[in-house]
Amino acid sequence: MNIISKKVFFTVFAIIALVVVCIFVVTVVINGSDDSAGAYSAEQRSKVVTASNDDMCNILLLGLDSEAGLCDVMMLVGINKTKGSVTVVQIPRDTYAEYTEASYKKINGAYSSLDGAEQTAQFLSNAFGVEIHHYACIGLDTFGNVVDALGGVDLELSRDMKYTDAEQGLYIDLKKGTTHLDGAAARQFVRFRSGYADGDLGRIDAQKLFMAAFFQKLTESLSPVSGAMLASALEGVETDLGVSDMISIGTEILEMNSDSVYMITLPGKEAVATQSGASYYVISRDACADIFKQYFGATREFDSQQKFLNDRYQNFESIYFEYAEFSVIPVSEIVSDATRFVT
């Protein structure tokens, strides 16, 4: 392999790794934690240095459950070209959002309701007040192929995981203890939800734990052979990223390491819509505005049309208008001490 082809290979591989890591590394959920080094106080917020929109490349990443037609994973990745850093903010799948007139208003239904990734990106761009330059959507089958391409992942399961939903074709049966997850088992693991006390937030932590192990395996297995296998496995990704885009973005992140990649969970809390009994995740408007201004180069007002608020419910309003502290965690900390972040 000559010098030029090596550069192209590792640049494209870096993008592949970034897409996989960002979709399935799930951020740490520490709402209002006192002991997190990444939590922002009111005094610290006043000193925030904002990112210029010209510095940014923002990519929406979606993990699609093709059986249910819902997005199990939604993340926005902000690549800061000047600072040489990447910030990933996860959007909980139960987030309340008025992207439709229908009664189902959880954000994970936007992909189907709005007819695809491009329209979903446009809705979120308008609501977040940021430019979303690209999108990528990966299905569960592709995810499983990626795990198999890497040779599977070893993980310590803290509990048995058993769940059946015949309508979705979902059958989960994983045993507690050290387990080798191939692609099929990994799909089960990231979809499991019913056994967590915190519901979807517990599922987010579990997915983050999986990805910490996946990231470790990825770094240990990096080679031209594994890169080629991963590239082949990712052929099913729906994206507007062309090869030239990948090379351009890859050039930016080639010099980065896990200390330059940060994770944030969109701040907010769970709430129940008393009329329907449905459980939603309601975001904190001002905290989210800080995140998108600082890390994603926002140039417009966050949620100017209040798409993330159902003002018929006082509990929704209380969460929406109250500032929620958030945590910014380097991926290196997740990888080195994953169990610290598991609730």
What sign does the dihedral 146-147-149-150 (CA atoms) show? positive
Q: How confident is the model at residue 205 (pLDDT cuts 50, 70, 90)?
A: low
Query: Comparing 200 with 147, which gets the higher pLDDT?
Result: 147
The residue ranges of every structural domain in the chain are 3-336
- The residue among 28, 31, 12 whose CA lies nearest residue 20 is 12
- The residue among 123, 91, 43 whose CA lies nearest residue 288 is 91
Torsions phi, psi for 157 (to 5 deg): -90, 130
pLDDT digits (tens, 9 = 90+) for 6-32: 334 333 444 444 454 443 333 222 222
Q: Which of 182-186, 245-249, 281-285, 327-331 has the lowest mean pLDDT?
A: 245-249
Could you tell me if 101 and 26 are in contact, meaning their C-beta atoms sit under 8 angstroms apart? no
Q: Give the CA angle between residues 109, 185, 107 to the nearest 5°.
A: 10
- Give me the helices (H) in the chain, please: 3-24, 42-45, 110-113, 117-128, 140-149, 183-191, 200-221, 224-233, 243-253, 285-296, 314-321, 331-336
Average pLDDT of the segment spanning 128-141? 89
pLDDT at position 198: 60
- Say what the pTM is: 0.77
Q: How many residues does the chain have?
A: 343
Tell whether the model's pLDDT for residue 199 goes beyond 50.
yes
Tell whether the model's pLDDT for residue 316 goes beyond 80.
yes
For residues 52 and 285, what is the distance between their CA atoms, to the nearest angstrom?
21
Could you tell me if 280 and 245 are in contact, meaning their C-beta atoms sit under 8 angstroms apart? no
For residues 266 and 88, what is the distance between their CA atoms, to the nearest angstrom?
10
- The residue among 5, 1, 2 whose CA lies nearest residue 247 is 5
For residues 114 and 99, what is the distance between their CA atoms, to the nearest angstrom?
8
SS3 content of the chain, % helix, strand, coil (to 5): 45, 20, 35
Q: How confident is the model at residue 172 (pLDDT cuts 50, 70, 90)?
A: confident
pLDDT at position 169: 65
Query: Which class is 3-336 in CATH?
Result: alpha beta
